[in-house]
């Protein structure tokens, strides 16, 4: 049986976030304290299977990372229908299947919340597997990167960003990535959580009508 250290490697920054922000009754935390770890974590979503938080080196304001709570390095490490027949293998297969489903269920919800919060119409969802594929943190994560329509202003220091006048880069991995401003991130994360709650509520209403 896997140990906690195998699920949450000490040197993995995303596992540190998962440990600092355990799943609660609601998947969207009310007022998560960003200072529980350093650098700050601006958490948007925290479920038993997945988490979402702002990238600390965003390519554009609102750049979100959606990750699995448990530690998997690559997408291929998720659900394997050909797992062994023994109890331990089947238990792991069941867990990874639920984690895989959760990624698929939350990606559209987080995407819609991102669009409503930032006013964008276009965004990238990027997922890298391995160093040669530009994966920096060896823990499965999906980048949701807003693509803004207008020109990007020059920002010095901690200048406030007008999210309606920001243009993100032509291609993922190109252009300057700016360090996340924690004050601006708190505002953005709170708006994203509000938008995500609304999306969850709307989905619950739609399901109740089926």
Per-residue pLDDT tens digits for 23-61: 988 999 999 999 999 999 999 999 999 999 999 999 999
Read off the pTM.
Answer: 0.82
Closest C-alpha to 119, from 186, 60, 49? 60
Homologous superfamily of domain range 4-208: HIT-like (3.30.428.10)
Domain chopping of the chain, boundaries: 4-208
Per-residue pLDDT tens digits for 139-150: 999 999 999 876
Catalytic option among 42, 49, 139, 141: 141
The arithmetic mean of pLDDT across residues 191-201, rounded, is 96
Give the model's pLDDT for residue 113.
98
Annotated catalytic residue 143: no
């Amino acid at each position: 049986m896997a140990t906690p250290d195998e699920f949450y490697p000490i040197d993995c920054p995303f596992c540190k976030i998962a440990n600092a922000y355990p799943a609660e009754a609601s998947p969207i935390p009310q007022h998560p304290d960003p200072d529980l770890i350093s650098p700050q974590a601006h958490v948007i979503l925290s479920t038993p299977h997945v988490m979402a938080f702002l990238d600390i080196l965003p390519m554009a304001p609102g750049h979100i990372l959606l990750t699995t709570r448990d530690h998997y390095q690559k997408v291929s490490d998720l659900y394997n229908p050909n797992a062994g027949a023994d109890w331990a293998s089947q238990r792991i297969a069941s867990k990874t299947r639920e984690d895989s489903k959760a990624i698929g269920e939350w990606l559209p919800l987080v995407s819609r919340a991102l669009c409503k919060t930032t006013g964008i119409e276009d965004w990238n969802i990027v997922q890298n597997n391995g160093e040669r594929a530009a994966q920096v943190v060896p823990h499965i994560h999906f980048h949701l990167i807003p693509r803004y329509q207008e020109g990007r202003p020059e920002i010095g220091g901690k200048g406030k960003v007008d999210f309606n006048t920001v243009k993100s880069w032509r291609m993922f991995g190109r252009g300057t990535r700016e360090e996340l401003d924690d004050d601006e991130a708190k505002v953005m994360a709170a708006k994203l959580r509000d938008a995500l709650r609304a999306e969850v509520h709307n989905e619950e209403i739609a399901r109740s009508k089926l």
